[in-house]
Structure 1
Amino acid sequence: MESFSKKVRTFDAFPKVDAQHQVRSSRGGFSTLLTIFCGLLILWVEVGGFLGGYVDHQFTVDPEIRSQLSINMDLLVAMPCEFIHTNVMDITDDKFLAGELLNFEGTNFFLPPTFDINNENAKYETPELDEVMQESLRAQFMSEGHRSNQGAPGCHIFGSIPVNQVSGDFHITGKGIGYRDRSNVPMDALNFSHVINEFSYGEFYPFINNPLDFSGKTTEDSLQAYKYYTKVVPTEYERLGILIDTNQYSLTEQHITYEIKTDGKLSGLPGIFFKYEFEPIRLKIIERRIPFIQFVSRLATIIGGLVVLAGYLYRLYESILSVLFGKKYVNRDTEKPGGLLDSKTPPIESKNY
Structure 2
Amino acid sequence: MDGIMSKLRNLDAYPKINEDFYSRTLSGGLITIASSVLMLLLFITELRLYLHAVTETKLMVDTSRGETLRINFDVTFPALPCSILSLDAMDISGEQHLDVKHDIIKKRLDSRGNVIESRPDGIGAPKIEKPLQKHGGRLEHNETYCGSCFGAEESDDHCCNNCEDVREAYRKKGWALSNPDLVDQCKREGFLQRIKEEEGEGCNVYGFLEVNKVAGNFHFAPGKSFQQSGVHVHDLMAFQKDTFNVSHHINRLSFGEYFPGVVNPLDGVHWNQESPSGMYQYFIKVVPTVYTDVGGHTIQSNQFSVTEHFRSAEAGLLQSLPGVFFFYDLSPIKVTFMEEHVSFLHFLTNVCAIVGGVFTVSGILDSFIYHSQKAIKKKMELGKFS
**1:325-336 correspondence runs (5 A):** 325-326=377-378
Q: Say yes or no: does 1:199 pair with 2:200.
A: no
Q: Say yes or no: does 1:247 pair with 2:302.
A: yes
1:259–1:268 contact (8 Å) kept in structure 2 = no
SS state of the match for residue 242, structure 2?
helix
Q: Say yes or no: does 1:179 pair with 2:180.
A: no
1:226 is displaced (CA, Å) by: 0.9
SS state of the match for residue 23, structure 1?
coil
**1:207-226 correspondence runs (5 A):** 210-226=264-280
Q: Say yes or no: does 1:291 pair with 2:343.
A: yes
Distance 1:245 1:192, change over 3 A: same
1:324 is displaced (CA, Å) by: 3.7
Following the alignment from structure 2 to structure 1, what is the Cα–Cα distance between the partners of residues 112 and 268?
10
Deviations 1:182-202 (A, max 9, x none): 964434352212222222112
Distance 1:165 1:319, change over 3 A: same
Letter in 2 for 1:71: I
- Partner in structure 2 of residue 54 of structure 1: 54
- Partner in structure 2 of residue 304 of structure 1: 356
Q: Say yes or no: does 1:23 pair with 2:23.
A: yes
- Partner in structure 1 of residue 180 of structure 2: none
Following the alignment from structure 2 to structure 1, what is the Cα–Cα distance between the partners of residues 12 and 371?
30
Deviations 1:48-95 (A, max 9, x none): 221124333332222433431121222222223332332212222322
Deviations 1:94-118 (A, max 9, x none): 22225232535351255769xxxxx
Q: Say yes or no: does 1:156 pair with 2:204.
A: yes
Following the alignment from structure 1 to structure 2, what is the Cα–Cα distance between the partners of residues 101 and 181?
21
2:69–2:210 contact (8 Å) kept in structure 1 = yes
2:291–2:336 contact (8 Å) kept in structure 1 = yes
Length-normalised TM-score, structure 1: 0.70
Following the alignment from structure 1 to structure 2, what is the Cα–Cα distance between the partners of residues 200 and 316?
59
Deviations 1:140-177 (A, max 9, x none): xxx97565597433333222121111111101223268
**1:50-199 correspondence runs (5 A):** 50-77=50-77, 78-103=79-104, 105=106, 107-110=108-111, 151=195, 152=198, 153-175=201-223, 179=233, 181=235, 184-199=238-253
Q: Percent identity among equivalent residues?
A: 29
- Identify unmatched segments of 5+ residues in structure 1: 114-142, 330-353
**1:257-296 correspondence runs (5 A):** 257-259=312-314, 266=318, 269-296=321-348
1:9 is displaced (CA, Å) by: 9.2
1:254 is displaced (CA, Å) by: 0.8
Distance 1:109 1:89, change over 3 A: farther
1:179 is displaced (CA, Å) by: 1.6
- Identify unmatched segments of 5+ residues in structure 2: 126-193, 226-231, 382-386
1:277 is displaced (CA, Å) by: 0.9
- Partner in structure 1 of residue 43 of structure 2: 43
1:72–1:204 contact (8 Å) kept in structure 2 = no
Letter in 2 for 1:162: E
- Partner in structure 1 of residue 146 of structure 2: none
- Partner in structure 2 of residue 131 of structure 1: none
SS state of the match for residue 226, structure 1?
strand
1:233–1:278 contact (8 Å) kept in structure 2 = yes
1:210 is displaced (CA, Å) by: 2.4
Distance 1:79 1:230, change over 3 A: same
- Partner in structure 2 of residue 33 of structure 1: 33
Following the alignment from structure 1 to structure 2, what is the Cα–Cα distance between the partners of residues 20 and 182?
101
SS state of the match for residue 73, structure 1?
strand
Aligned length in residues: 296
Letter in 1 for 2:60: T
2:68–2:213 contact (8 Å) kept in structure 1 = yes
Distance 1:148 1:57, change over 3 A: farther
- Partner in structure 1 of residue 311 of structure 2: 256
Distance 1:323 1:187, change over 3 A: farther
Distance 1:234 1:291, change over 3 A: same
Following the alignment from structure 1 to structure 2, what is the Cα–Cα distance between the partners of residues 80 and 218?
16
Following the alignment from structure 2 to structure 1, what is the Cα–Cα distance between the partners of residues 315 and 45?
67
Distance 1:204 1:15, change over 3 A: closer
1:253 is displaced (CA, Å) by: 0.9
1:6 is displaced (CA, Å) by: 8.2
Letter in 2 for 1:281: I
1:221 is displaced (CA, Å) by: 3.8
1:11 is displaced (CA, Å) by: 7.5
